[in-house]
A and B are shown apart, each in its own frame.
Chain A
């Protein structure tokens, strides 16, 4: 990821001006204010400029794919956490009752078993990397709420970044269209003046 970002930075800064970035360091593209001026200044043929622009778009699109994957992963993770949280909350509500609750739980894929569970004060949370830790219900609830919050925040950031990337791609695409149109028009006038 960092290579793409720095590559975009490079290809942008070669065009000129100070780099603006969004809060998470994704560089902003440059808007072409005046096509004619821009082309004369860069002193490269129009095709080269267009190629450069297209390359930049491709880089942003690549980043977009990365972010879309992250979005997907978070969108899976969030319901999972909130599901676990709802069970813990249910256990909390049952904390003080003496009656055991009857459950049917999944022992293995498609295999279910019945169990009576006495009210409990603690649960074991799977932390990943083959580690499970015992927590009191209150602690587990706080931990899960925390994780949910973090995941939701991360999702919000990813969505923001995606919006930002989209804006950069749009700007670049409009740049391309304008340079292209400018070139078409220039050729047309060249043709008419030379034919006269």
Chain B
């Protein structure tokens, strides 16, 4: 919290439209950080799957591997495991792209709101991340 100098005070009336803009901004901002967390965890998951793919390249083709499905490990062939991983990876890649797209979209909306709100309220409003 910071007190404003008297010169910095802006005499702008807050209208209902401004309030809605402030609300939208706050909403989008919260949504953005949620998406960011999801994005990071999915990205990590994708990294694990990538490692797994590499690891499986080295595996003995004739040997069964224990693959965890749900809570149990099931013996399946290397080929089957690779198929499953590829499928999971494809879904993840799609989800990541979707998230990225949404995040860009939110960013665009937020910068528009920022221009508007800073333009009207100047230093009397703070829209930056802590």
Contact with B along A53-74 (1 / 0, CB 8 A): 0000000000000000000000
Contact with A along B51-65 (1 / 0, CB 8 A): 000000000000010
Smallest Cβ-Cβ distance to A87: which chain B residue? B70
Is the beta-carbon distance between B26 and A166 smaller than 8 angstroms? yes
Which residue in B13, B27, B71 is a CB contact (below 8 Å) of A83?
B71
Is the beta-carbon distance between A166 and B19 smaller than 8 angstroms? no
Is the beta-carbon distance between B30 and A31 smaller than 8 angstroms? no
Counting CB contacts under 8 A, is B23 at the interface? yes
Chain-A contact segment, one of B72-80, B94-102, B104-112: B72-80
> Count of B residues near A, CB < 8 Å?
21
Which residue in B27, B64, B69, B70 is a CB contact (below 8 Å) of A102?
B64
Contact with B along A14-48 (1 / 0, CB 8 A): 00000000000000000101100000000000000
Give A87 to B71 CA distance when docked, in angstroms. 9
Is the beta-carbon distance between B70 and A163 smaller than 8 angstroms? no
Smallest Cβ-Cβ distance to A34: which chain B residue? B13
Known contacts A31-B19, A167-B27, A178-B14, A106 near B71 by CB under 8 Å: yes
Query: Please, could you name 19 A-B residue pairs with CB atoms under 8 Å apart, sorted by A?
Result: A83-B71, A86-B70, A87-B70, A87-B72, A90-B70, A90-B74, A101-B74, A102-B74, A102-B75, A103-B73, A104-B74, A105-B73, A106-B71, A106-B72, A166-B30, A167-B23, A167-B27, A170-B26, A171-B19
